[in-house]
Structure 1
Amino acid sequence: MKWLRGGNDRQTASTTYSGQESATERKARKEQAKTRKRRAQGVAEAARAGEAWEVEERRRTR
């Protein structure tokens, strides 16, 4: 029932929640992970397309 008394929110945040990731930090981390995943997928797709082109080009020149 300590929460009913009120008090200094900044002090509570610095003691009770110290060391925990904020919602803003969590969102940024997840967005960065999503961006890295999309970029990696794009690189893989480009590599496959390039390899397919190379195989086709070799087939044509033989």
Structure 2
Amino acid sequence: MSAFALTVTCRSTRGIVAAISTYLAENGCNITDSAQFDDRETGNFFMRVSFNSETGTTLEQLSDG
């Protein structure tokens, strides 16, 4: 089982957390830890997600998606 950490920085918008968690689940990954926040002053969104690939999905396969 491979363990990964994903960091995200982007403009804040509705659905980011849902999109990321859905993508990971659809690719055989299980989220083990997640933290996120919006910076209301800049309008940016920040997220860090730790997850395991339970089906052997590689970093390259995840990056291509």
Give TM-score, length-normalised by structure 2: 0.23
Give TM-score, length-normalised by structure 1: 0.24
Greater share of helix residues, 1 or 2? 1
